[in-house]
């Protein structure tokens, strides 16, 4: 459910024609719908009404300050995975007591930063990390709140790059070794055990893996409680999938009701870390067709957005629907939609059946709100694109398009390279 719709043959975001925004900010740009974002967050959050819970938006899906602030305003917390994300979360006004810090490779300075900020807890992924956090906390005269991220060895049945809860993945502590890690954590003087955590992967389209994981976690918590450990939080991570093409993921209500059934009388606060399901279908990437060309075998649509703007098709082979901004009757063709980057992996769609686009016209890549801009790079020295938030009939630029100057910020030519004549003479050996 989203608010990108055709009205009289024109694609609108809420009450604004997409073409008007293109006129104003140029192309390409990311476009988010405020109403859609609010709706997605609220539906997800309300699905868990009835038990104590905290929705920590997983900001790596889309880390724009405006979006974080929007979810913070709705009572959300944030799941961060780096010092940089923590900085953004705080800058956006997130309540530190609603921030959880995940990730396999937290550095000492990041741990220190998070302790200073008084975050809710660290999701710890190894025994060595427990020791490091204990040390840093000791140095600062603090007690570090921690959960242990357990790897429940469950097949999330999604793309291998976004499966995280199996033995062969780098994430979490093997569930069989977890009790040992908990014993270590409760012996270390500067740690405070708060709960248990897991995250199975991303774009899951079945509820079964979640329920299976929850059952495993519950039985582990029962054991830990018998040993006298206090487990107050159970964090089930994120990972609920969305419809890109023909996937049929469970509605948040269905997802929640399956989880609630398991956990209602379990006496803990549930934490959820949704990313994609909140922002994925609330954003699109708008681009302009530059050229079309064909040979005996193939037809190419060359557009001004590329893999540096949206890497998912190249990286995961992901499907994104591509639609013309102006809807009209036209011939169906099969084509590759490609960007200007000098890589054959630079495509947004391959062998796609689509209405024939004309040079100069606008197209949109749908479902691009998650892992779109947040994975964008400057490859081929392409300035990162603008991000726009539409609310009703208002257009808000929430990140302006980068300029050429931004591309070289921080770079420097060392003194010894600057004098061309010296360089040539010293180069002759």
CB of 274 to ligand PLP, least distance (A): 5
Comparing CB distances to ligand PLP, the nearer of 27 and 102 is 102
Beta bridge partners of 209: none
Q: Output the six-digit token pair for 30.
A: 């990311």
Per CB under 6 A, does 352 bind ligand PLP? no
Q: How far apart are CA 41 and CA 55, in angstroms?
A: 9
C-alpha to C-alpha distance for 195 and 385, rounded to whole angstroms: 40
Stretch near ligand PLP under the rule CB under 6 A, chosen from 43-51, 207-215, 268-276, 345-353: 268-276
Select from 106, 276, 326, 352 the one that contacts ligand PLP (CB under 6 A).
276
Shortest distance in whole angstroms from residue 149 CB to ligand PLP: 7
Nearer to ligand PLP, 53 or 276 (CB): 276
By CB under 6 A, tell whether 60 contacts ligand PLP: yes
Element spanning 6, H or E: strand 4-7
Asked whether position 318 contacts ligand PLP by CB under 6 A, the answer is no
- Under the binding rule (CB under 6 A), the answer on residue 288 touching ligand PLP is no
Spatial distance between the Cα atoms of 137 and 143, rounded to a whole number of angstroms: 6
342 is catalytic: yes
Stretch that binds ligand PLP, among 45-53, 184-192, 270-278, 416-424 (CB under 6 A): 270-278
Q: Does 172 bind ligand PLP (CB under 6 A)?
A: no
- 303 near ligand PLP (CB under 6 A): no
Strand partners, 53: 270
How many angstroms separate the Cα of 164 from the Cα of each of 152, 370, 424? 10, 18, 53
Between CA 302 and CA 290 the distance in angstroms is 6
Residue 274 binding ligand PLP, by CB under 6 A: yes
Locus of tokens 């081929």: 380
Which 220-249 positions form the footprint of ligand PLP (CB under 6 A)? 237-240
CB of 30 to ligand PLP, least distance (A): 17
Q: What's the burial of 400, exposed, middle or buried (CB within 10 Å: 0-12/13-18/19+)?
A: middle
Q: Which of 13, 22, 54, 61 contacts ligand PLP by CB under 6 A? A: 61
Instruction: Check binding of 313 to ligand PLP (CB under 6 A).
Output: no
Q: Which residues of 140-166 are buried (b: 16+ CB within 10 A; e: fewer)?
A: eeeebbbbbbbbbbbebebeeebbbbb
Site for ligand PLP, rule CB under 6 A: 58, 60-61, 79, 81, 102, 199, 202, 237-240, 273-277, 370
Catalytic residue positions, numbered: 342
């Amino acid at each position: 459910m989203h608010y990108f719709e055709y009205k009289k043959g024109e694609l609108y975001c809420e009450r604004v024609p997409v073409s008007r925004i293109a006129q104003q900010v140029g192309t390409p740009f990311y476009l988010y719908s405020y109403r859609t974002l609010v709706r997605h967050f609220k539906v997800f959050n309300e699905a868990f009404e009835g038990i104590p819970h905290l929705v920590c938006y997983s900001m790596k899906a889309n880390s724009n300050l405006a979006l974080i602030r929007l979810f913070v305003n709705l009572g959300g917390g944030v799941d961060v995975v780096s010092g940089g994300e923590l900085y953004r979360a705080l800058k956006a006004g997130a309540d530190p007591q609603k921030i959880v810090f995940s990730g396999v490779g937290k550095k000492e300075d990041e741990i220190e930063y998070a302790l200073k900020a008084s975050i809710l807890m660290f999701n710890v992924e190894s025994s060595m990390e427990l020791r490091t956090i204990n040390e840093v906390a000791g140095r600062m005269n603090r007690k570090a709140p921690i959960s242990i991220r357990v790897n429940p060895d469950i097949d999330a049945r999604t793309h291998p790059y976004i499966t995280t809860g199996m033995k062969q993945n780098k994430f979490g502590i093997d569930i069989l070794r977890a009790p040992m890690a908990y014993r270590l954590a409760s012996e270390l003087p500067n740690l405070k055990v708060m709960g248990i955590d897991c995250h199975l992967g991303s774009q899951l389209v079945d509820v079964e893996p979640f329920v299976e994981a929850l059952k495993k976690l519950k039985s582990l918590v029962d054991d830990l409680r018998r040993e006298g450990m206090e487990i107050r939080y159970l964090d089930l991570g994120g990972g609920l999938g969305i419809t890109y093409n023909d996937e049929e993921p469970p509605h948040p209500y269905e997802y929640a009701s399956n989880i609630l059934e398991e956990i209602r009388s379990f006496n803990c606060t549930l934490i959820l870390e949704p990313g994609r399901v909140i922002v994925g279908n609330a954003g699109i990437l708008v681009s302009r067709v530059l050229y079309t060309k064909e040979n005996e075998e193939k037809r190419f649509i060359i557009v001004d957005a590329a893999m540096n703007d949206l890497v998912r098709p190249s990286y995961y082979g992901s499907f994104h629907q591509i639609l013309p901004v102006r809807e009209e009757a036209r011939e169906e063709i099969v084509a590759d939609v490609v960007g200007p980057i000098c890589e054959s992996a630079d495509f947004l769609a391959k062998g796609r059946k689509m209405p024939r686009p004309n040079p100069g016209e606008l197209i949109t890549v749908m479902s691009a709100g998650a892992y779109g801009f947040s994975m964008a790079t400057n490859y081929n020295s392409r300035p990162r694109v603008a991000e726009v938030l539409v609310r009703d009939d208002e257009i808000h630029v929430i990140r302006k398009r980068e300029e050429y100057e931004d591309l070289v910020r921080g770079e420097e030519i060392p003194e010894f390279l600057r004098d061309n004549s010296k360089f040539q003479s010293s180069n002759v050996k």
